[in-house]
Amino acid sequence: MNSLPVIQNILFIDIETVPQHPEYSRVPERMKRLWDKKCENFKEDKMPYEFYERAGIYSEFGKIVCICCGYFNDQQIFVEEEFYGHDEKAILLSFKNLISNKFYLNNKVLCAHNGKEFDFPYISRRMLIHNIQLPSMLEIAGKKPWEVKHLDTMELWKFGDYKSYTSLDLLAAVFNITTPKDDIDGSKVGETYWKNDDLQRIVVYCKKDVRTLCEIYMRIAQVERVSFPLVNRELLI
């Protein structure tokens, strides 16, 4: 796919999110009422507190605990940068600093799996909630579609078909991309954070997804597979 950006101009990202509170009973009353209202739209016959483990996927009720990034530097080395911790605002500011300093040129692009529906809007909304000015890469209001520098591997895989959701794990399987065996998946991130207090385990899971995302992009773009000599930079916040 010659029209796609060269891999050296792409910042691959993945985020992990959790409910803002460890359990439903800890939610402030105003937000609890709004969560109850939102749960009326869910089809399952459950009480709002039973749905609260899902709160992390909604930017109004969840928060980001980890942003993992990967990119190829001038020496073709895959650089990993992870921002994680309990201070969401600090995580977002660190991520903003990365893209503002290294991915500000017009030929630079952000890439995530289901990024246009989840990662990019979630990050943008949480930045606004924390009163952080959006970096140009996330400021899409008023821009023409071709001016928005966002790539989404799930959208690329659809080839215009809007009927289905294809997970990162499924694409890795069909492309025969080997991924490490993990003891958690996306549905367990909230529990791992709040009940097990194991943020590092979440970071490892998120980091794996970024490497998988990069390999999937190379297969979809039909570019020569690049090896993964690694430089890792972690920032615990």
Residue 2 in this model has a pLDDT that exceeds 70 = no
Torsion 161-164-165-170 (CA) sign: negative
Show the domains of the chain with their CATH numbers: 7-236 (3.30.420.10)
Amino acid identity at 17: T
pLDDT in tens, 124-171: 999 999 999 999 999 999 999 989 999 999 999 999 888 778 999 999
Nearest-angstrom CA–CA distance, 149 and 162: 21
What local confidence, expressed as pLDDT, does residue 47 receive? 84
What local confidence, expressed as pLDDT, does residue 225 receive? 66
Pull the structure tokens for residue 176. Answer: 């025969």
What local confidence, expressed as pLDDT, does residue 122 receive? 99
Pull the structure tokens for residue 193. Answer: 């954070």
Q: What is the mean pLDDT of residues 178-185?
A: 74
What local confidence, expressed as pLDDT, does residue 76 receive? 82
Are the beta carbons of 61 and 35 closer than 8 angstroms? yes
Q: How confident is the model at residue 231 (pLDDT cuts 50, 70, 90)?
A: low
Residue 102 in this model has a pLDDT that exceeds 80 = yes
pTM value?
A: 0.93
